Structure 1
């Protein structure tokens, strides 16, 4: 019997942290789906209306993350290492923060995405967040470690896709005839969108470090 299997026998059965992480994961999926729908909306006023709804969901995510930290302070025995709980909560919260930050920039800058880059980034973000959702829900029983690893590998691959998309988008941007102000605004948005995928990869790395301890 491996050390990880032995450790799982003695893990606390309190599921409060899993419940909270799953709430965060579901909220992130809803945010990413809403973000993706907004990025595909050609009517800018409708797009902005959808994106403004993200703020409420980002606040909801903050509330659940805060509850995780409260529970961490109140529970001496936890189902996962305390540092892992803190790192995972922080990394998931970062995804919501940066997604909302990107949404605010799209609203404030009033970007008209003629090349489809916004929709492209939104699609990568949604796929990444859905993969995170699968991995987070699998942590509760920690039986399908290969499935969790598969999700994390997919997230890493999607982050590479986002890097490639950013390179291609900036190349088109700098070779276009748009004004300097418009160039700066679009560059800022696209770089922020790529950071969202970086944050997804950070969360996947935390999850991988957790399952390594119990494999």
Structure 2
């Protein structure tokens, strides 16, 4: 057992990093829910309001990530490897960034007609955020390893589904859409959404690394 692992038994570790990680992952669910409502609503003014909500939530996520980095600099003893703490915080923040980026593209490009692929990938993003949150909340004690690994498996499956939907949607855009500007708009939105699912998979990879090192 490493010296860091011995020390962690004597440190109130749940008072610093784990609450911050849980705030960050909980914030992801709010972002995913707001995005899902934004792409499903028929009310343009409501969508505008939701995109502002997403903007605020993304800033909140940035603040939480910054706080994790600050705590990392102040705390000599950490519940798991410092590199993994940094990687996990960064990966969670990346999900928030791409959800935000997707919503921003919808607003900037004045896209009000949401296609089925956009809705499907948005649903998958929310699913991924929920699984990220489930896994992060089990990091406190690492007793329910199966819960974490099951979440990681679902995230990987979700990302594969998103890849398929993205590839098919882009192929259909090129085949059936004659307006080059519309192709660019929708491809950009789809790409940002699909990247958000990639970032969920990055979180799963970090979580699996933590399990290997600490289980």
How far does residue 51 in structure 1 lie from its aligned partner after superposition? Answer: 1.4
Alpha-carbon distance change, 93 to 174 in structure 1, aligned in 2, over 3 angstroms? same
CA contact (8 A) 1:7 1:214 kept: no
Which whole-Å CA distance do the structure 2 matches of 1:141 and 1:69 have between them?
A: 22
**Aligned match of 2:202:** 202
**Aligned match of 1:109:** 109
Which whole-Å CA distance do the structure 2 matches of 1:45 and 1:109 have between them?
A: 15
2:182 counterpart SS class: helix
Alpha-carbon distance change, 76 to 9 in structure 1, aligned in 2, over 3 angstroms? closer
1:148-163 equivalence runs, <5 A: 148-163=148-163
How far does residue 177 in structure 1 lie from its aligned partner after superposition? Answer: 3.2
CA contact (8 A) 1:128 1:200 kept: yes
Which whole-Å CA distance do the structure 1 matches of 2:48 and 2:118 have between them?
A: 13
**Aligned match of 1:13:** 12
Instruction: Report the TM-score when normalising by structure 1.
Output: 0.93
1:81-139 C-alpha deviation (Å, 9 max, x unpaired): 10010000000001111110110001111224353122111100000000000000000
How far does residue 168 in structure 1 lie from its aligned partner after superposition? Answer: 1.2
Alpha-carbon distance change, 7 to 143 in structure 1, aligned in 2, over 3 angstroms? farther
**Aligned match of 1:81:** 81
Instruction: Indicate the larger mover: 115-124 or 66-75.
Output: 115-124
How far does residue 213 in structure 1 lie from its aligned partner after superposition? Answer: 1.2
How far does residue 72 in structure 1 lie from its aligned partner after superposition? Answer: 0.4
How far does residue 46 in structure 1 lie from its aligned partner after superposition? Answer: 1.9
**Aligned match of 2:181:** 181
How far does residue 8 in structure 1 lie from its aligned partner after superposition? Answer: 5.5
How far does residue 7 in structure 1 lie from its aligned partner after superposition? Answer: 7.5
Instruction: Indicate the larger mover: 47-56 or 106-115.
Output: 106-115
**Aligned match of 2:167:** 167
**Aligned match of 1:29:** 29
**Aligned match of 1:97:** 97
**Aligned match of 1:126:** 126
Gaps in structure 1 of 5+ consecutive residues: none
1:111 counterpart SS class: coil
Which whole-Å CA distance do the structure 2 matches of 1:195 and 1:161 have between them?
A: 13
**Aligned match of 1:57:** 57
Which whole-Å CA distance do the structure 1 matches of 2:55 and 2:127 have between them?
A: 21
Write out the 4+ residue segments of structure 1 that deviate beyond 3 Å after TM superposition. Answer: 6-10, 112-115
Alpha-carbon distance change, 123 to 63 in structure 1, aligned in 2, over 3 angstroms? same
Gaps in structure 2 of 5+ consecutive residues: none
